[in-house]
Every structure is written in C-alpha cells, then in structure tokens.
Amino acid sequence: MSTQEPVPENATDAFVDGDRTLVRGTAQAALRHRSFRIVWSGMFVSNIGTWMQNVLLGAYGFTLTHSETYVAVLFFAQLGPLLVLSTVGGVLADIFDRRRLLLVCQFQQLVFSIVLAWIATSSHPDETLIVLCVLVIGVGNALGAPALNSLLPTLVPKPDLAGAVALQSVQMNLSRVVGPAMGAVIYAAAGAAPVFVINAGTYLFAMVALLAVQYPRHSTVPPGEGVMQRFVEGFQVARRDPLIRRVLVTLVVLSFFSLAFVGLMPVIAAENLGIEPRSVEYGVFYAVFGLGAAIGAISVGTWFAAFSKARLVRPALVAFGLVLVVFALVRSPAGALVIAPILGYAYFVVITSLSTVLQEHVDDAMRGRVMAL
C-alpha cells in the first residue's frame, strides 16, 4: 500500500507497516507519512527557536524595566495580532497556495528577528522599538498560523488525522521544553541578542522542509465570491454549526479567563517564587511546564487514541481548573516545579482534544478560515 493512500475508516482498525501493526489515528501512524514527517520536523526546529525567543522576551522585558505592564504589553505584541489578523490569514490560506503563504510569513519573521537582535545589542535599547518589532513578528505569525494549521492535516489521510493533530501539539510543546532551556543558558551567559539571532536561523529549517515535500492542493474558493464574503463565511459556518460553535466558545472562555499566567511567567517566577528571570532556573521552570504540556498532547494521540475526544475534554477541564488553583497558591520553587508540569499536562489534553474534534469535523475548503477562528 502506498504511504499516501488513505485507508477507508470502516475497513480496518489497524494496518501493517513492515513487521508492525499500527493503529489508525495514533501519532505513530501519522509519522508513517513522509511529507507530514518532513514538514513536522522542520516546524519543530523552527518552533524551538520561536520559543527560545518568546519565553526570553518576557524575561528580557522584565529585566529591562521591572514592569509587569511592560511584560504584558510584550506578550500582547507577540500574540495580539492573532486576535485581529488570524481570520484574515484564514481567508488567505483558503485562497492562495498555503506553502507559498507560509514561506513568505516565515521569511518576514526571520528578517525581523534579526532586527530585534540588532536592537538588543544596544546597552540601552529603545523599549518602544522592541515592542514594535515584536508586533511585526506577531503579524507574520498571525497571517501564517492558519496556513500551517490547514496544511499539516492534509499531509495524512483522514483516519490518521487525530494522530497528526496530537503531533502538532507535541511539536509545539516539546519546543517549549527545549527552547526555554537552551535560551535560558544562552541568555544568562551572553544576553538576549544571540537568542534572537539563533531564532532567525531556525526559520530556515521550516522553509527548507516546506520546499522539500509534495502536498495536495486544497479546494479553491469559488471565483464569484468577494474577499469580504470569504472573510465573513468562516463566521457564518461557525454560527450555523453547533459543534464548531461549542468548541470555539470553550476555547475563548478558557483562553480569556485562565491562560493569562502563560504570558506573565517571568513575573510569577520573580514575585511568587523568587526565581530571577535572567537565569537557568527560569528556563528550567518554563521547560517543565512545556514538558507536561508535551506529554499531555502525546497522551491524546497514544494512550487516549481510542477515547472520544469530546468526552475527554470535560474531566481534563476540571483537572486543569483545580491544578491552576494550586499553582496560584504555590510560593516555593520546588513546589512550582512539581505543579507546573501537571498544569501543562491538563492544559494540553484540553487543547489537543478540542483541536482534534475541530480538525476532524471541518471541511478542507473552509479549514483555513475555521481554524483561524
């Protein structure tokens, strides 16, 4: 059987790869597909650099200003563009070639990461200029993220989609482990600029991977539709479809009320735990949170592969809420190192399960716009 040939969902629960029997829908089955494996690996290396930069930016900003507000502004500059522009990126992902769109966005982020490194070489860097540069990088991420979320699942047949979605979460969270740990060592020894330069270099891995694979072209939007109609259609689909609507509402409520701690990790480390943001200890603290999140994502595509992802969300949400309360009350570094990975685990069981439900449900022609929401 060809590695790209989909197996009918009702034909069998497993298929043979050499001497092994692989269960459909698992992470192992998704990695069997060459194009997915190459793109996944390239994005993994790129995300290591991204998380080196993302995590160290907060620590760098807090070290420069000792201002919680400035750290929050930096975090908003990183991710705020997703709020405004990801729907635009979703429209672009459904109209244009997703690979070309990703290449442009990756190159833009590479260039401005170098600019950020140049700003950081100053002994007294302009704080406003740092925010503006991070904002431009955030814009590139916002426009490219829907294309990546739409492209990766098309590189595997539908029976293996759950494993591919789980591996997307694994990739992001393993990079949260490796990136902060590496970045903290470099930042403590040499400052922020080398971290930003290394991040710029990692974008090349993603670009090479994208150029190295064959991938299916997605269905194009009917030519009679205007840009505004295409933009609005994603919202209309979400409003009409009760499953999509329920998933999106859950994600919005969880993100708005429960995830502010992710952006304020440097402040939590400094004020609650007595951990200096410019230190190896801070990198380890953030890395164990990412390790727990990675294990949570892996578990959805392995141990929980046969479970209903919709039903898995409920106990995971309860567990996340309870552990978040404990995390808020912890005041010792040792206690935080125990609680942080458990918090990350529960958090990403929720996120990966919701993403899997959404990816399996949405039509490919609408995938970019719906995943952008």
Amino acid at the residue 188 = A
Please state, in angstroms and rounded to a whole number, the distance separating the CA atoms of residues 244 and 240: 8
What residue has token string 């997605």?
Answer: 218
Query: Per-residue pLDDT for 135 more than 90?
Result: yes
* pLDDT in the model for residue 225: 57
* pLDDT in the model for residue 9: 39
Mean pLDDT estimate for the chain: 83
Domains in the chain: boundaries:
17-216+226-372
Query: Per-residue pLDDT for 296 more than 80?
Result: yes
For 138-188, the pLDDT digits (tens) are: 999 999 888 887 787 778 887 777 778 778 777 876 787 788 778 888 888
C-alpha closest to that of 289 among 202, 214, 177: 177
Residue 321 corresponds to which tokens in the numbers above? 């809420």
Please state, in angstroms and rounded to a whole number, the distance separating the CA atoms of residues 228 and 251: 25
* pLDDT in the model for residue 269: 92
For 45-67, the pLDDT digits (tens) are: 998 998 888 878 888 999 899 99
> Are 159 and 25 spatial neighbours (Cβ–Cβ below 8 Å)?
yes
User: What percent of the chain is modeled with pLDDT above 70?
Assistant: 89
Please state, in angstroms and rounded to a whole number, the distance separating the CA atoms of residues 229 and 233: 6
Which pairs count as long-range contacts for 211-217, CB under 8 Å and 24+ apart, including other chains?
A: 211/99, 211/103, 212/38, 212/42, 213/34, 213/35, 213/38, 213/39, 213/155, 214/35, 215/35, 215/39, 215/99, 215/151, 215/154, 215/155, 216/154, 216/155, 217/97
Contacting residues for 327 by C-beta, under 8 A, at least 6 apart: 261, 336, 339, 340, 343
| pLDDT interval class at 338 (50, 70, 90) | very high
* pLDDT in the model for residue 340: 94
* pLDDT in the model for residue 274: 93
Return left, alpha or beta for 122; rule: phi > 0 is left, psi -120 to 50 is alpha, else beta. beta
Amino acid at the residue 321 = G
* pLDDT in the model for residue 26: 67
User: E-strand spans in the chain?
Assistant: 14-17, 20-23
Which pairs count as long-range contacts for 216-225, CB under 8 Å and 24+ apart, including other chains?
A: 216/154, 216/155, 217/97, 218/94, 218/98, 218/150, 218/154, 218/364, 218/365, 218/367, 218/368, 219/364, 219/365, 220/94, 220/95, 220/365, 221/94, 221/95, 221/365
For 208-249, the pLDDT digits (tens) are: 999 998 776 655 555 555 667 777 877 888 888 898 899 999
Query: Per-residue pLDDT for 19 more than 50?
Result: no
| pLDDT interval class at 17 (50, 70, 90) | very low
| pLDDT interval class at 18 (50, 70, 90) | very low
* pLDDT in the model for residue 323: 97
Residue 44 corresponds to which tokens in the numbers above? 């993994």
* pLDDT in the model for residue 15: 44
State pTM to two decimals: 0.71
CATH class of 17-216+226-372: mainly alpha
